[in-house]
Chains A and B, each alone.
Chain A
Amino acid sequence: MNDTTIDAAVHVGLRGVTRVFGTDPKTRVEALGPIDLDLRKGEFFAVVGPSGCGKSTLFDIVAGLSPATEGRAVFEGHELNGRAVPEGIGVVFQEDASFAWLNVADNVAFGLRRAGLGEAEITRRVDDTLTFMGLRDFAAAYPSQLSGGMRQRVCIARTLVQRPRLILLDEPFGALDQQTRLIMGEELLKLWRETGATVLLITHALDEAAMLADRVGVMSARPGRIIDVVETPWGKDRDSRVVSDPRFGEITAHLWTRLRDESMAALSHKAA
């Protein structure tokens, strides 16, 4: 068995993490791992992998939504056991999770109200967040009156307003068009710089991962393991213009080379 100790300086640490669904040998699915991974405090880490490789399972374990079958998952020294999402973790899903019955301001204030903050503090934080996310003019609008991109912004704002130290994003721009994705990516970089939070982004888009992340982890076909970690050379002030840098093409080409065989393997899994 590998060493399961995790350095105290590591923000999120995974040691030998696996996830198996079912107990019947005929139907059980080995979805993930074993995975060893350290996220440094304040870094932007992206995970790419073939369809069905266990990216979302990994996401659920780090979010505290699902337990690992084996191994250890730790956030700021606290074990992630799948029973509760620890304080300090903010999560944004791919699906629209805005609350249709609340306007934008109340959507964003939702978590703060449940946490029992004073109304003055809530108003101040919500105003700041709406301004930061460019939603101030839509504070009184309902989600049904907004575009998909705007609704996703509301979900990000609802997460951000709680000032998480770890932000987890599961393909948050998956349902958006390419232009909106680039713009949302820039906004994500901006909020990452300003909050100083650690970010874990799950995505299937190689260009998105290469543009946004400090490091990109490449996962194998199921059961998903990290088979490569690619460092990007961009500074912290990067934006979507890095796509015109020649090194951007090299990075995405490298990612695709690593991923191609795994994607083929994943497809043959499905066909079988």
Chain B
Amino acid sequence: MTFVDWVAEPVNWAFLLIGVGMLGAAFRVVTSQNIVHAALYLVAALGGAAAMFVLLSAEFVALVVVLVYIGAVIVLFLFGVMITRAPTGLDVALDNDRKIPAALVALVLFGVMSFTSLTAFQATPVAEVGTPTSTATLAEGFIGRFVVPFEVVGFILLAALVGGVTLARRDLTPLEEEQRRSV
């Protein structure tokens, strides 16, 4: 498959548009000097991921990403940012001084991964795009073959809930405890 054939497919224009926007947003997430901006750029990057899932006819996963990540996780991040850093404006020292080695590591990693996938799946097409995976199929997977992992994930969520409450709660000092008892 030549590049001309590839570009001739209109769906690949959508891919290019979303992909470039997504990578730009991801780049800003890791380089932006303003934490709040970085968290908001993550919304764009994850929205791009959701759009990719729609392109791959995985609508349910796309909606889960929008609900869980864009709806809940980003809000959590913004809370975390606002609690751990009172002045949310520009900060000079958001990065450490090892940018060049880190960029080298990332580039080598990207090179190895893309080389491997290029040699392994040269022009393998994505099978029959456009037939969405029905939610019923996913549900059968969840309560059929993957019922044990499903329950384990539910337990992990419960443990995270309890653990989050326990960690974030402020313990009373002995003096405060004494005062509370005397009331």
Do A and B bind?
Answer: no
B contacts, CB < 8 Å to A = none
